[in-house]
Amino acid sequence: MADDVNQWRVEVTLQVGYDSYGPFLLPVDEPVSVGRTEQNGLRINHPAVSRKLATFVPTPRGWILENGKRTRMRVDSPFVIDASFAPGAHVLLQPADWTLAWDLDVLAEAILKYRRSGHGEPYATVRDGAPPEEPPVDRQQFIGTALAGDQLNLTALQRHRLGALFAYLIEGRPQPDQLIQTAAKLSGDSISQINGTWVKVMEYVNRHRDVPIGRIEDLGYHLVEVAGVIGPDDLPDSEG
């Protein structure tokens, strides 16, 4: 582990869809963020990317990655092997090669090379700029999905079943052991009807994503936490 961040360097290359940005060097004297807007030192100009995906913060013991507030992140390195981190999580980076990937509709990765400062090319150092003067963002424009709000075109029956299926996420409870069976009891539908609904919705969502969703838990996280299209209004009637 580095005792002095000045003795080390971090090279960052961003991959978004088919486009590559960098390599760039992280500054050792101030934080730098990655995101869609102009003030981010590591800017990704893509509509599926949130305004601020993450921030790299230098400390006397090395860099800390602060994940953004909206998007889950997957991390792979010799120290952290294929682990998933929630929005707002902090990850202490150590000298090695790192791959960071965010749960977006487009492939969005950061490739880090954390090395001794005496090794490597003299790449440009990135720094955040001043926040631009711009009108407030429409709160209906959900970041992280191309299928926000009415664009997903869910029927009332689909919302009813998905609300029952992902009630635990909406209410902030642990996932039940028998997820499908629990949803069937809450909704009054059969297990096959619940399965048919979530599979059909996942297949449709995946037609609009570069990185497909593969698990029912990830579909729930996407619909409830990322897209915000399933919420308290879709919970089954307590009298039903």
Residue 238 host element (H or E): none
- What is the CB neighbour count within 10 angstroms for residue 162? 25
116 three-class SS: strand
3-state secondary structure of 195: helix
Q: Is the dihedral angle over the CA atoms 89, 94, 35, 41 positive or is it negative?
A: positive
Q: What is the pTM of this model?
A: 0.56
Q: Are 127 and 32 in contact (CB under 8 A)?
A: yes
How far apart, in whole angstroms, are the C-alpha atoms of residue 21 and residue 53? 15
Taken as a whole, the chain contains a residue count of 240
For the chain, domain boundaries: 5-116, 149-234
- Tell me what pLDDT residue 61 has: 79
CATH architecture for segment(s) 5-116: Sandwich (2.60)
Span 128-169, pLDDT tens digits:
987 655 555 443 343 344 444 446 778 889 999 999 999 999
pLDDT tens digits for range 48-67: 888 899 999 998 878 999 99
Reduced to 3 states, what is the DSSP secondary structure of residue 8? Answer: strand
The per-residue pLDDT for 239 is: 41
Average pLDDT over the chain reads 84
